Copies of this chain bind each other. A is one copy, B any other.
Amino acid sequence: MLALGLDVGGTHVGVGVVDQQGKIIARAEMATRSDRPQSEVLDEIAKTALAAAEQAGGLAAMRGIGVGLPGVVEVDRGVLVFADNLGWHNVDIRHELQARLGDIPVYAGNDANVAALAEARAGACKGADSAVLLTLGTGLGGGIIIGGDIHTGAHFVGGEVGHMIVEVDGRQCNCGTLGCWERYASATALVLAGRAAMAEAANGAIAKAAGGDPEKVNARIVVDAAKAGDPAALAIWQEYIKYLVVGMVSLTNLLDPQVFVIGGGVSAAGEFLREATQTLLHKMLSFRDSNKPDVKLATLGNDAGIIGAAMLAHGK
């Protein structure tokens, strides 16, 4: 059987026809342009979904539609509660798509959560019963897999790994609390540390790579400078790894997953990131005789959103 996976983002919507193994066999896409009336956006999403389906037997060949959304989703009702970067509140995605596409099953989930599901079903930790995906990007998103499925909790707001507090009274977070993990372990945190280092050392490796322009500092520049052995960049990197692993220690002590999967922009650092993370994690858990979680790099990249959304429709 096939399923449609829709990855709805703030700027772009990707649609794929996905088989049960997680292979995308047809695609379509569109710009979100969420400044339009919501019904127009939904019309075009339905049209794009149909265009993808028609490349692979039409809607009749689909067991259902899964939708990944950039916000809080009531998964049981298929309702998007809110998504800041769409400006949408309380949108009954299931109803809206069925009104446009007919009586096909529609499922919805948070985009970071479904990406975790994709890695657990078809990616870095394929077949894992328990896993935690960490997406190191603008924020620190991710998802918790328990029993082979996404764990969202009683009010569908769980799995927000980036809002675990790692420093009481620490850095101010967008969520209103202080000291959230994503303030220390997201790509943004790495970039801010890189800019601060550049301000202190105008001739350092980071400053050179960014041509002295703070706006040009990105995660890759900091990682590359650290890989090349620049002392300031290395210090930033080691501090970054420390904070990243502190959260992973907490997650292990709470959830004891089989495996962590790291994705997002910072994961482009590859083995340099994976090896440092796993080594420090296992060292910090060394008081335990038990086996320790593996750390792996995400393998599905941007397709994780489409594949994971489709997996909502494929079911277990």
Q: Which residues of A contact B (CB under 8 A)?
A: 72, 81-82, 129-130, 144, 146-147, 151-161, 163-168, 175-177, 179, 184, 242-243, 246-247, 249-258, 284, 286-293
Min CB gap A68→B, angstroms: 19
Contact partner of A258 (CB less than 8 A), chosen from B144, B154, B250, is B154
B residues within 8 A CB of A291? 154-155
What separation, in Å, do the CA atoms of A160 and B176 have in the docked complex?
A: 27
Contact A164 B242 (CB under 8 A): no
Contact partner of A286 (CB less than 8 A), chosen from B161, B176, B243, B253, is B176
B residues within 8 A CB of A290? 72, 81, 155-157
Which A-B residue pairs are the 7 nearest by beta carbons? A153-B256, A158-B256, A163-B253, A154-B258, A164-B250, A160-B253, A176-B287
Min CB gap A250→B, angstroms: 4
B residues within 8 A CB of A287? 175-177
B residues within 8 A CB of A246? 165, 168, 179
What separation, in Å, do the CA atoms of A244 and B224 have in the docked complex?
A: 40
B residues within 8 A CB of A166? 165-168
Contact A168 B243 (CB under 8 A): yes
Given pairs A157-B253, A179-B246, A250-B250, 18 additional interface contacts (CB within 8 A): A82-B289, A129-B154, A144-B254, A146-B146, A151-B255, A154-B293, A155-B290, A156-B256, A156-B290, A157-B256, A158-B255, A160-B253, A163-B250, A166-B166, A166-B167, A167-B168, A168-B184, A168-B243
